[in-house]
């Protein structure tokens, strides 16, 4: 950051304090207000996790009133056992059907929510409404986490490490043989470096550094990509046949990213091609016709995306999204809850006609033309973050998981305007959503601090200063706050007590 902009934001902070605070408070040391700022400015100095939506099993980790769960809210650091005011940082977040997991920058993993299959990794089957560190992984430095419907997988390195053991995979929960984290090699050799893992409803796929995928779990719809379906739990096997062209023999393809949907899987090759396999009854595989009834048993290239370099793919329950380098977003599959973002009745389907065909798309459709940075698919909703820092969602919205609007279905990309900071990760689960944001600059740090203290009495003043100084996220948050108050959804107490997550 340039010197001028630092002083600009110090000026903004002083200005804000000057406008809203008693005179003696202006004398307050800047560092006391914004905390540690001596680090490199591009290194996040604070991050926050916002969670909202369905909370049946405590998966939002939030306390307070039910009515507020539609509004994204920061989980306070104290909830994770960090001292109040600590600049806790986060690396990753994932949502399962009804559970949530987050990785802190010290390598510890926290889980909360539903636990009927041991997916929290604490050895019990009791759901938990607040985050707790996964004890069994304390000897590991966790780097990333993925939540399936009822299972969890994490990639970690031993803390005591002579440099020879690199990213290993741990799994637990439904179909994983343990309700404690279990070291898992599967079909890979023990020293294979795992770079990504994705959990579906009943299957899991892990990616090695060499670009190989191994898959295990159930295979009733061909979601393990083996060329056949079978009953019962299957051990891990490496996928080595990818159908690049249907009239040529399948070959091995180097994969760079994978995502599991409910009963389907999508992966990106190093050339930016998308391969899909498993159940395709709703068009979620993106092919005009399928090789095996309603299924595709081998990974098959999505030819409709030919010539488009895909960098990100995400699978929901019955839909799939893919984003390009430039941030174009394509979606296909079932759109009955609005999860394609194409509006009602805009589907097109070339096989299996059914009553709901008007909601289905079996070939990729452009949803957002540009500027998408991150995408996450929940069971029936989709979240994206944009280059300008805004978050949009669409799809099933009964619990407010997809959008600020109050409708049951959000048919088109709609704003989620409650988060400040730079979006690092989006996560979407069965009916809940989570966003991880970082503050990398003094400006963002100021926004965070001010956002924590916005109340009814000063929301419009802060909004005014924030929008005049380009603190867009803060301005939007203030705007939303006033809107909701005017809408009469929430009483004053609810809003003014924005940090109630820690109370009672």
Ligand X SMILES: *[C@@H]1O[C@H](CO)[C@@H](O)[C@H](O)[C@H]1NC(C)=O
Binding site for ligand X (CB under 6 A): 16, 20-21, 33, 55, 58, 60, 62-66, 69, 129, 449-450, 452-453, 455, 457-458, 462
Minimal distance, residue 165 CB to ligand X, in Å: 38
- Give residues with Cβ within 8 angstroms of 315, minimum separation 6: 200, 259, 260, 261, 262, 264, 265, 266, 284, 321, 377
What is the spatial distance between Cα 51 and Cα 483, in angstroms, rounded to a whole number? 20
Number of H helices, E strands in the chain: 7, 28
Nearest to ligand X of 69, 282 (CB atom): 69
- Give residues with Cβ within 8 angstroms of 225, minimum separation 6: 213, 215, 239, 241, 265, 277, 278, 297, 298, 299
Minimal distance, residue 428 CB to ligand X, in Å: 18
Angstrom CA distances, 174 to 64, 181, 227, 369, stand at: 30, 12, 24, 38
**Backbone φ, ψ for residue 112 (5° rounding):** -160, 165
Minimal distance, residue 57 CB to ligand X, in Å: 6
What is the distance between the terminal CA atoms of the chain, rounded to a whole angstrom? Answer: 41
Tokens linked to 27 = 């004398």
Nearest to ligand X of 62, 99 (CB atom): 62
Nearest to ligand X of 54, 221 (CB atom): 54
Minimal distance, residue 46 CB to ligand X, in Å: 13
Minimal distance, residue 181 CB to ligand X, in Å: 24
Residue of this chain nearest to ligand X (CB atom): 20
Nearest to ligand X of 367, 439 (CB atom): 439
Give me the residues paired with residue 213 across strands: 207, 239
CA atoms within 13 A on the CB side of 427: 33
Nearest to ligand X of 64, 227 (CB atom): 64
Nearest to ligand X of 452, 491 (CB atom): 452
Q: Which of 234, 187, 177, 222 is nearest to 208 (CA)?
A: 187
Nearest to ligand X of 98, 273 (CB atom): 98
Tokens linked to 299 = 């990974």
Whether 52 and 69 have beta carbons less than 8 Å apart is answered as yes
Minimal distance, residue 25 CB to ligand X, in Å: 8
What is the spatial distance between Cα 322 and Cα 33, in angstroms, rounded to a whole number? 41
Q: What is the DSSP string of 251-276?
A: B---EEEEEE-SSEEEEEETTS-EEE
Whether 438 and 444 have beta carbons less than 8 Å apart is answered as yes
Minimal distance, residue 50 CB to ligand X, in Å: 14
What is the spatial distance between Cα 427 and Cα 13, in angstroms, rounded to a whole number? 32
Minimal distance, residue 492 CB to ligand X, in Å: 10
Nearest to ligand X of 370, 457 (CB atom): 457
Please name the helix (run of DSSP H) or strand (run of DSSP E) that holds residue 457, with its range, or none: none
Minimal distance, residue 465 CB to ligand X, in Å: 9
Nearest to ligand X of 100, 362 (CB atom): 100
Minimal distance, residue 502 CB to ligand X, in Å: 12
Q: What is the DSSP string of 127-140?
A: -EEEEEE-GGGTTE
Nearest to ligand X of 314, 462 (CB atom): 462
User: What is the SS3 assignment for 338?
Assistant: coil
Nearest to ligand X of 100, 223 (CB atom): 100
- Give residues with Cβ within 8 angstroms of 237, minimum separation 6: 187, 214, 215, 216, 224, 226
What is the spatial distance between Cα 55 and Cα 404, in angstroms, rounded to a whole number? 17
Minimal distance, residue 407 CB to ligand X, in Å: 21
């Amino acid at each position: 950051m340039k010197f001028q902009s630092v002083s600009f934001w110090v000026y903004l902070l002083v200005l804000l304090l000057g406008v809203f605070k008693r005179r003696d408070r202006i004398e307050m040391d800047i560092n006391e207000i914004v905390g540690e700022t001596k680090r490199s400015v591009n290194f996040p100095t604070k991050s926050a996790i916002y969670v909202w939506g369905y909370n049946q099993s405590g998966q939002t980790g939030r306390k307070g009133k039910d009515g507020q769960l539609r509004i994204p809210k920061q989980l306070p650091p104290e909830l994770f056992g960090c001292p109040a005011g600590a600049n806790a940082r986060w690396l990753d977040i994932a949502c399962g059907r009804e559970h949530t997991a987050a990785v802190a920058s010290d390598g510890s993993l926290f889980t909360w929510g539903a636990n009927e299959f041991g997916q929290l990794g604490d050895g019990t089957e009791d759901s938990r409404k607040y985050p707790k560190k996964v004890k069994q992984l304390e000897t590991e430095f966790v780097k990333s986490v993925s939540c399936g419907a009822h299972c969890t997988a994490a990639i970690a390195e031993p803390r005591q490490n002579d440099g020879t053991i690199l990213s290993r995979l741990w799994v637990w929960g439904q179909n994983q043989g343990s309700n404690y984290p279990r070291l898992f090699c599967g079909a890979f050799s023990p020293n294979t470096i795992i770079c990504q893992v994705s959990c579906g409803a009943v299957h899991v796929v892990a990616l090695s550094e060499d670009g190989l995928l191994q898959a295990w779990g159930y295979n009733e719809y061909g979601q393990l990509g083996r060329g056949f379906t079978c009953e019962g739990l299957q051990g891990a096997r490496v996928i080595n046949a990818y159908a690049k062209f249907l009239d040529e023999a399948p070959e091995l393809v180097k994969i760079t990213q994978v995502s599991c949907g409910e009963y389907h899987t999508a992966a990106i090759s190093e050339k930016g091609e998308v391969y899909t396999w498993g159940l395709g009854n709703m068009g979620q595989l993106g092919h005009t016709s399928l090789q095996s009834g309603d299924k595709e048993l081998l990974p098959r290239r999505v030819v409709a995306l030919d010539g488009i370099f895909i960098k990100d793919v995400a699978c929901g329950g019955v839909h799939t999204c893919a984003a390009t380098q430039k941030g174009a977003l394509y979606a296909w599959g079932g759109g009955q809850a609005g999860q394609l973002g194409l509006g009602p009745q805009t589907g097109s389907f070339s096989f299996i006609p059914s009553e709901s065909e008007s909601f289905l798309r079996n070939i990729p459709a452009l949803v957002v033309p540009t500027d998408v940075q991150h995408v996450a698919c929940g069971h029936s909703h989709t979240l994206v973050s944009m280059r300008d820092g805004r978050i949009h969602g669409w799809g099933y919205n009964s619990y407010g998981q997809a959008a600020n609007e109050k409708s049951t279905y959000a048919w088109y990309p709609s704003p989620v305007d409650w988060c400040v900071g730079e979006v690092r990760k989006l996560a979407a689960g069965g009916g809940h959503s989570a966003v991880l944001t970082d503050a990398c600059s003094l400006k963002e740090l100021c926004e965070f601090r001010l956002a924590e203290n916005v109340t009814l009495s000063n929301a419009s003043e802060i909004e005014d200063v924030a929008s005049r100084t380009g603190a867009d996220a803060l301005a939007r948050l203030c705007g939303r706050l006033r809107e909701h108050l005017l809408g009469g959804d929430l009483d004053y107490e609810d809003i003014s007590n924005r940090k109630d997550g820690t109370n009672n």
